[in-house]
Structure 1
Amino acid sequence: MSQSTAAVAGGRTSRSSPTLHFVAGLGSGTLGAVILQPFDLLKTRVQQSGSRSVRAAARDVARSSPNALAAFWRGTVPSAVRTGVGSAVYFTTLNVMRQYAASLPFAARPRAASPSSASSSSLPRLSDTANLVTGAVSRAFAGFVLMPLTVIKVRYESDLYSYKSIAGAARDIYRSERLPGFFAGYGATAVRDAPYAGLYVVSYEQIKKRLSSWYIPASPAAHGPSDPGVRTSLSATINFSSGALAGATCSFISNPFDAVKTRIQLQPRDYPDMVRACRKMVTEEGIRSLYDGLALRMTRKAMSSALAWMLYEELIRRAETVLH
């Protein structure tokens, strides 16, 4: 059995270099950010006021520029840089932590008794607790490193600021708020992203395990010569579906923190911290304000998570096949 087939069949621990995981994360994150930028921009516009519908926000965006189509990709560069580098840092950190956890008896998931046990994964098998912790810590770290780009991205997408360039946005933030301005909303971001990422990894692995047991036959002998290609295609489909389902579920749970974070980053004087921002939003606009942009965020997160994890796992699988 080839290494790629073994990885599919048994979820073999990946021993590839951190550079490979960085490049795979960078590529998958950047592609997803570019494709899904309109969802991100509309979510920011809806969340900034709490009163506009998605349709009204889309109308405003289309009217804001002579080129209506290009207007929906405003902020793509900071978004792609932030998401691409963020995914690279996240996946690299997550891989290092998961490799270490896989060597710990209490963290590694016991391998199934049958060597032909089906799985679509090429990543380490860990317990739910280990997946939760490694996912949360990796995301919190990546979020801190990328926070300045996140603030610039959100303000660049908003129509509350008239920034003409990324450099101009950075200069204005530093001039008016100094270094703390680049980390506005990190508390809400960490509270949103760390649990989200931990729950996401647990959900992703559990859904993937269930779908694999349903759709990947346990015995490779049941297939003909085309079996490796069929397995690769089926694994990609399972990983994409698992990423979409896990992303939508976790987005619903964490949306209030995302709505609060957006207000803090756009209007730091009116919403100075997470507690006061949440209280002000609920008091003035009701509980509904915490779920502004929910449909857009669920759609974007489901699609971006599905694309990122499917591409990441496939790039790792194919690179390992070539290298080994």
Structure 2
Amino acid sequence: MSNVGQHLLSGGLSGFASTICLQPLDLLKTRLQQGDGSSGPRFASPTFTCVTIASTSARNLTVFRTARDIVAIQGPRGLWRGTNATLVRNVPGIALYMTALTHARSVMAVSPYFKAVQKYPSGDSRTRQGSVLPTLTMQGNLLSGATTRVAVGFILNPFSVLKARFESSIYAYESLSGGFMSIVRAGPSELFRGFLASSLRDAPYAGLFVVFYEGLKIETYWTSHTTSAGIHSFSAASAGALATIFTHPFDVIKTKVQVRSEARYHGLYKTIRTIMTQRGIAGFFDGVSLRLSRKVFSSAIGWAVYEGMLMLMASA
């Protein structure tokens, strides 16, 4: 298998594993973020097939009550609603992102400005526990993570919109193809809805994640005798938690822009003003515990699978 093929396969398996395990957290986060602060029944645009959602605002619903209501109506499988849409978004998305990130880092490693001193000594008995990925300076890690994530996010934004709407209770799409065609018929503005908010979330998230991940991985390598999977899982989980806390407000904005049809949610500035007016600062942290939990586990699973697969194939 070619080098690119190995990275795509490893990234795809990473995305599949984390999605199947953690979809309920994604769904609950979307449900908590989708609400509007105004009172009364809320409807989606007549352009789409929609259902009425409860008038109680999302801020008054706890995670457990939301999960209980979903299970009561749809059964336990209801917590995995939108899994297919998430797989369509995450499997190719994570595969492309991790592959593009690794190759961007390989190109940048040629530059003396971005190339870092080798952190894992060749010949060391624990080298296989370190990493097979290129080593960059902090600036290189920040830039490679941010630019790669935004580029892949632009390509897959239509599927991000589809994923968010499948997870919400506002849209009653009956199939992936039907939901996607509904968005396509609405035009480019719907296909790329929320991209600016997503970029403002993803660029700093990805950049900070790579910086934290590589730094923690090196520190863990030198201070711990754990396995490679342990190093990668711990480092990725910690990096995911730190990056998530810094970028969560834009995740709330992105969700509202993509699932709400009211004019007050059309555009980044209008959405920020609406959230601020209705909920204040607290409104920008709806669902933060769920996103934090998901990012910690998905990062731990995803990067352990990705780097573990690459190291396995490199040693074969």
Q: 1:79 — aligned with what?
A: 86
Change (3 A) 1:113 1:132: closer
Question: Superposition pairs for residues 152-167 of structure 1, below 5 Å?
Answer: 152-167=162-177
Q: 2:305 — aligned with what?
A: 311
Return the letter of the residue paired with 1:290.
Answer: F
Change (3 A) 1:95 1:113: closer
Is it true that 1:131 corresponds to 2:141 in the alignment? yes
| TM-score, with structure 2 as normaliser | 0.88
Question: Superposition pairs for residues 128-277 of structure 1, below 5 Å?
Answer: 128-175=138-185, 177-216=186-225, 234-269=227-262, 270-277=264-271
Q: 2:46 — aligned with what?
A: none
Please give the alpha-carbon distance, in whole angstroms, between the structure 2 residues aligned to 1:197 and 1:113: 23
1:64 deviates by 2.6
Please give the alpha-carbon distance, in whole angstroms, between the structure 1 residues aligned to 2:269 and 2:13: 36
Which blocks of at least 5 consecutive residues in structure 1 are unaligned?
1-15, 217-232
Conserved? CA contact 2:213–2:235, under 8 Å? yes
Conserved? CA contact 1:184–1:268, under 8 Å? no
Please give the alpha-carbon distance, in whole angstroms, between the structure 2 residues aligned to 1:128 and 1:79: 31
Structure 1, residues 171-216: CA drift from partner, whole Å, max 9, x if none? Answer: 22233x2122011100000110011000000000111111111014
Please give the alpha-carbon distance, in whole angstroms, between the structure 1 residues aligned to 2:119 and 2:313: 26
Conserved? CA contact 2:14–2:306, under 8 Å? yes
Q: 1:64 — aligned with what?
A: 73
Change (3 A) 1:126 1:162: same
Determine which of 86, 92, 97 is the counterpart of 1:90.
97
SS in 2 for 1:126: coil
Please give the alpha-carbon distance, in whole angstroms, between the structure 1 residues aligned to 2:260 and 2:163: 14
Conserved? CA contact 1:102–1:124, under 8 Å? yes
Is it true that 1:42 corresponds to 2:28 in the alignment? yes
Q: 1:290 — aligned with what?
A: 284
Change (3 A) 1:158 1:113: closer
SS in 1 for 2:34: helix
Aligned-residue sequence identity (percent) comes to 36
Structure 1, residues 212-263: CA drift from partner, whole Å, max 9, x if none? Answer: 11014xxxxxxxxxxxxxxxx7111010011111101111111100000000
Q: 2:47 — aligned with what?
A: none
1:96 deviates by 1.2
SS in 2 for 1:110: coil
Q: 1:225 — aligned with what?
A: none
Change (3 A) 1:137 1:47: same
1:275 deviates by 1.5
SS in 2 for 1:105: coil
| TM-score, with structure 1 as normaliser | 0.85
1:81 deviates by 1.8
SS in 2 for 1:124: coil
1:60 deviates by 2.2
Conserved? CA contact 2:119–2:218, under 8 Å? no
Return the letter of the residue paired with 1:163.
Answer: Y
Determine which of 22, 29, 40 is the counterpart of 2:15.
29
Return the letter of the residue paired with 1:241.
Answer: F
Which blocks of at least 5 consecutive residues in structure 2 are unaligned?
36-57
